[in-house]
Structure 1
Amino acid sequence: MSAVVVTTKGQVTLRRDLLEQLGVRPGGKVTISKLPNGTIEIKAAQSTGKISDVFGFLKTKQKGKSLSINEMNDVIARGWSGKRR
């Protein structure tokens, strides 16, 4: 079990190892649920991205230049994870 300090603003900071276990990176989000027995549950927030968000990433700034398969796969992975450039 891990103890955290509550600030005067009511904020807490989770240790890095706990965030890593959740798969949460800097800038990431967590969801907190109140359970009926007086405890809370913390989970990594699910991405709310849509497949259509990926399509704008496939355009390049240089006209006529095509993306390689590896570049396309990278764009697709970022789109599904909710990350932007």
Structure 2
Amino acid sequence: MIESTITSKGQTTVPAEVREQIGAAPGTRLVWHVMPDGSIVVRAKTRSILDLAGAFKPPRGKHVSIAEMNPWR
């Protein structure tokens, strides 16, 4: 089990083993999720949604405008 300590300022060091496994470098943002059962999931935000641009082909068939997607507005 890998451990770290929280300082009086609320800071902690991500252990080197963990940084290596998730590919974290200085400046990597961490996203914290507190689950209903009290467990915590920490995820390295290493990619942007913009990295997916062009990764998918547009669907064939009818194209829907944003206005049609939001009929309640």
Partner residue of 2:27?
27
Partner residue of 1:63?
none
Gaps of 5+ in 1: 52-85
Q: How does 1:12-51 map to 2 (within 5 A)?
A: 12-48=12-48, 50=50
**8 A contact 1:24–1:30 mirrored in 2:** no
SS in 2 for 1:50: helix
Gaps of 5+ in 2: 52-73
What's the TM-score, normalizing by structure 2?
0.58
Instruction: Give per-residue Cα distances to partners, 1:3-53, cap 9 Å, x unaligned.
Output: 2111111111111110111111111112111111111011111423637xx
Q: Which amino acid aligns with 1:28?
A: T
Provide the aligned C-alpha RMSD in A: 1.8
SS in 2 for 1:10: coil
Higher relative contact order (CA 8 A, sep 6+): 1
Equivalent-residue separation in structure 1 for 2:49 and 2:37 (angstroms) = 33
Larger Rg: 2
Identical amino acids, percent of aligned pairs: 29
How many residue pairs were aligned?
51
